[in-house]
Amino acid sequence: MKSKMYLFLALLFFLFSSPLRAEETLTWQQCVSEARAAHPDLSTALALLQQAEADKRITGGALLPRLSMAVSSEESGTTAKGSTHSAAHSYSLTAQQLVYDGHKRSDMVASNREAIKGAQYNYDVVSADLRFALRSAFTQLLKAQELVGLAGEIADRRQKNVRLISLRYQGGREHIGSLRQAEADLAQAEFEVAQARRGLVLAQTTLASALGRDSHNPVRVKGKFEVRELSTSKPDLALLAKNNPLFQQLDAKSKAARFDLDAAKNAFSPELYLTSSLGRREVDSLPFNAVDWSAGLTLSVPIYEGGSGQARVSRAMAVVSQQNSQQKSGYLQIFTMLEESWKNFQDARQLVAVKKKFLEAAQERSTIANAQYSNGLVTFNDWVIIENNLVSAKKEFLNAGADLLIAEAQWIQAKGDGIDG
C-alpha cells in the first residue's frame, strides 16, 4: 500500500515539476507591437533615414567656418668643417569661411533636406507594406486554425454518413455505388484534415517571419473575421493618392532633383573665401618673441573643366525630367490601386453577407434532407448533393471572412497607412 502511495506521489511531483510548454497565443495588437520593434525591414528603412540626415550634416558643414591647427619642428645642419646646426619650431591656427559660391552649397543642402523627407516617406511606405504582410499572415493563420476545426467537423460528418449508408446497404435499402461514394467523400475529408494541418504549420511559419522572429515555434492567433473600416461611402481618392507616402516620396525626389540642377548650374559661379591665420615661430632656440598673422580673401573662378561642368548640368536636367515622369506615373498607379482596392473591399464586405445567407440556407436544407433520407423520402443522389452544398457553404463562408480581412488590409495599404496606424 505504501509503495503505491509513494509511486502516486512521485508521479504527481513529476507532472507538476516538469515545465509544460503552452502554445503561444497572440492578438493583433501584440503582433503589431512585436513587428514594429523587431522587424528588419523597418530597421533598414530607419538606417536609410539616418544616412540621409548624416549626408545633410556633411554637406552643410561646408557653410560653416573651418579651423585647422599646424605644429612643425625642423632641424638642419651640415657635417662639413665648421659644421652648423639650426632648429625651427612653429605653430599656427588657420580659419576659413565661405562667403559666396553662387548658392551652390545651399542648393545641395536643400536637396539633402528633400532627401531626408524622401527617406522618411520611404519608412512610411515600408511600414505600410509590412502592415499588409503582417495582416495577411495573421489572417491566414486565423483561417488555418478555423479550417483545421472545420475539416475535422466535415470528416466526422462524412464518417457518420458512411456508417449510415453502410447500414442501409446491409439492409438492402441502398446500393453499393452509394456506399462507395460515401467512402470516397470520407477519404476526401480525411485528406483535407491532413492538408489543413500542414497549412496550419505553414501559416505559423509565415506569421513568425512577418513578425521578424528568428525562431519558428508553434503559435496561435486570437481574433475575429471583422473589419474596422465601417464606412461604405467612397472617399476622395485623388486626395488620398496625393497624401500617399509613396507619392510624397516621389515628390520629394523630384524637388531634390531640381535643387541638384540648380547646384550644377551654380558650379560655374566663383567661390569667395575669407581666410586668416595666427601663429608663432622659434628659430635657433630663440624664444617665441613675435606673432605672425594674416587675413585676406581668396577668390576661385572656374574657367575650363574640359566640359565636365556642362555635362553635370545636362545630367541633372535629365534626372529632373526622369523624376517628374516617375512622379506622374506613380500618381496614376496609386490612384488605380486605390480604386481597385476600394472596389475589392466593398465586394468582399457584401460577399460575406451573401455567403452567410447561403450557409444558413444550406444548414436548413441539410437538417430537412437528413430526416427525409432516413425516412426514404429523398434519394441518395439528392441527399448527397445537399450534403455537399453544406460542406461547400461552410468553406466558402470561411474563405469570404478571410478574404474580407485581406481586402481591408489592401485598402489600408493603398491609403499608405503604416503599422503604427
At 400, is the pLDDT very low, low, confident or very high (cuts 50, 70, 90)?
A: very high
Residue 92 three-state SS: strand
The whole-model pTM stands at 0.82
The C-alpha cell at 263 is 547646384
Stretch 66-95: mean pLDDT: 75
Least confident of 62-71, 84-93, 297-306: 84-93
Which residues, at least 6 apart from 360, have a Cβ–Cβ distance to it below 8 Å? none
Stretch 143-153: mean pLDDT: 95
The C-alpha cell at 8 is 502516486
Which residues, at least 6 apart from 17, have a Cβ–Cβ distance to it below 8 Å? none
The C-alpha cell at 261 is 540642377
Strands (E), 184-235: 219-222
Q: How far is CA 351 from CA 21, 202, 401, in A?
A: 40, 27, 9
Give yes or no for residue 88 having a pLDDT over 90: no
Rg (CA), the chain: 38
Strands (E), 193-322: 219-222, 271-283, 291-300
Considering 105-109, 157-161, 169-173, 400-404, the range whose residues carry the highest mean pLDDT is: 400-404
Write the DSSP assignment of 69-90 as a string of letters.
Answer: EEEEEEEEE--STT--EEEEEE
Domain interval for residue 56? 25-68+89-281+290-415
Q: Output 275 or 3, whichever has higher pLDDT.
A: 275
Phi first, then psi: what are they for 286, rounded to 5°?
-80, 145
| CA 330/CA 281 separation, integer angstroms | 64
132-135, long-range: CB within 8 Å, 24+ apart, which pairs? 132/409, 132/410, 132/412, 132/413, 133/210, 134/31, 134/32, 134/35, 134/207, 134/210, 134/211, 134/419, 135/28, 135/405, 135/406, 135/409, 135/412
Q: What is the pLDDT of residue 16?
A: 42
Supply the CATH number for residue 410's domain. 1.20.1600.10
DSSP 231: -
**pLDDT, averaged across the chain:** 87
Phi first, then psi: what are they for 276, rounded to 5°?
-155, 155
| CA 401/CA 396 separation, integer angstroms | 9
Least confident of 42-46, 136-140, 218-222, 224-228: 224-228
At 288, is the pLDDT very low, low, confident or very high (cuts 50, 70, 90)?
A: low
Cell 505553414, residue located: 202
Residue 77 lies in a domain: no
Percent of the chain whose pLDDT exceeds 70: 90
State the virtual CA torsion across 310, 312, 314, 316 in degrees, nearest 10: -150
Number of separate domains in the chain: 1
Q: What is the pLDDT of residue 14?
A: 43
At 85, is the pLDDT very low, low, confident or very high (cuts 50, 70, 90)?
A: low
Residue 74 lies in a domain: no
Residue 28 three-state SS: helix
Q: Specify whether the CB–CB gap between 346 and 356 falls below 8 A.
A: no
The C-alpha cell at 221 is 492567433
Residue 75 lies in a domain: no
Residue 16 lies in a domain: no
Q: What is the pLDDT of residue 293?
A: 79
Residue 153 lies in a domain: yes
Residue 166 lies in a domain: yes
Residue 81 lies in a domain: no
pLDDT digits (tens, 9 = 90+) for 105-122: 888 899 999 999 999 999
Percent of the chain whose pLDDT exceeds 90: 59
Residue 17 lies in a domain: no
**Closest by Cα among 207, 220, 217, 222 to 34:** 207
Least confident of 64-78, 172-186, 314-328, 397-411: 64-78
Query: Side chain identity at 168, as an amino acid letter?
Result: R
Write the DSSP assignment of 314-332 as a string of letters.
Answer: HHHHHHHHHHHHHHHHHHH
Give yes or no for residue 103 having a pLDDT over 60: yes
pLDDT digits (tens, 9 = 90+) for 331-382: 999 999 999 999 999 999 999 999 999 999 999 999 999 899 888 888 888 9
Considering 16-20, 97-101, 194-198, the range whose residues carry the highest mean pLDDT is: 194-198
Q: What is the pLDDT of residue 285?
A: 52
